[in-house]
Amino acid sequence: MRLGSIILFVAFCSFTAYYVYEPIPEEIEERWKLMLTNSFFRSLSHLADISELLGLKDYMGVMYFITLLEKIAPVSDEHVKVTEEKFDGVEVVLYQPKHRGSDTDLRRAIIYLHGGGWCLGSSRMSPYDLLARKVVTELDAVVLSVEYRLAPAHHFPIPYEDVYRVVKHFLQKGVLAQYYVHPGRIAVSGDSAGGNLAAAVTQQLQKEPSQQIQLKAQALIYPVLQALDLYTPSYQQNQHMPILPRTLMVRFWSEYFTSDKAFFRAMMANTHNNPESSSLLKFVNWSAFLPETYHRKYNYSAPAVTEGTVAIDGPSRSLADPRASPLLVPDAALRSLPKAYILTCEYDVLRDDGIMYATRLRAAGVEVTHEHYDTGFHGALMFTVWPTDFLIARRMTDNYIKWLKENL
């Protein structure tokens, strides 16, 4: 009996070690913590696949458990006043300093857009709440965190339109005066899919001739910026990396546009482009916009163009829309954009999106601060809550806030 228990225990430990262990690059700090963290994400992903296969609940519906697990009710504390409001019908969480100087003292403001692949995430998750409070206290700033609607219940362009409406509403003289915000010191920022929305909103605002108050800065944290080429060197190098493997990022893109699984399969094969989107591939040609050091062993091959129904019907028409893929705008549309902070991570499928955007913005004359983390992985900035708190998250947060302090 005792021998059987020992055998079962050893078998259990062996299976656990096999399941948890991943060949993560040695350069990444706290590798075992990342392995353990990712084993939870992988387990939930497998459960989501099974649930969808059995027709119990769709994949993103199960994955949303991650959001629920970290969701909190934001409340005021001794330094920060927190209110939940609606701007033009869209829910927002507003963070303001409790103590202020004279009535003539105006503050900075950061409009923050959470990540989660347009399908997951919430401004009410504890890592976003902590980040907002830190920004408020260290910069004496107002933080506006947007609770935009999510796919797949609300496909593109609804998440983008929610964000755009909030930004337009906030950038009114009367609204800014209500929150003591300086009209010349406002930035939009976001991580991952939130970085996508931040870049898209910044571009579209510049096209509005009637928009009197413009953004001073954009801060994009490992942003996703294009859906045309899902086989860039970083997509290939990091296709099995923790937190955001290529399969999950492609699924996010697919669900953002449609729930049609045929489109997901086409995106996985990188054969989803249609004649319209193919004309814009020049803007995501990584052989032209990536520094040589990131080419590595990979050779550029333009994505295939399909003229069948999967490629030309329904959601694929959104592929060429810069509100979905900000990297697709022509150079002339980049020249008037505000200064940018772009954070990228070496071990991230989205690395090349951010680097290509930084390259194109600089070439267009935009002031760009590109901060690349050689040991970074996707989502790192948000891992600030025990037990999944990482040292790199603290460094990223400190550098991000430092840039805002110096440039806003």
Q: Which residues are identified as catalytic?
A: 192, 348, 378
Residue whose tokens read 């550029």 = 300
Residues 221/191, Cβ–Cβ less than 8 Å: yes
Residues 195/166, Cβ–Cβ less than 8 Å: no
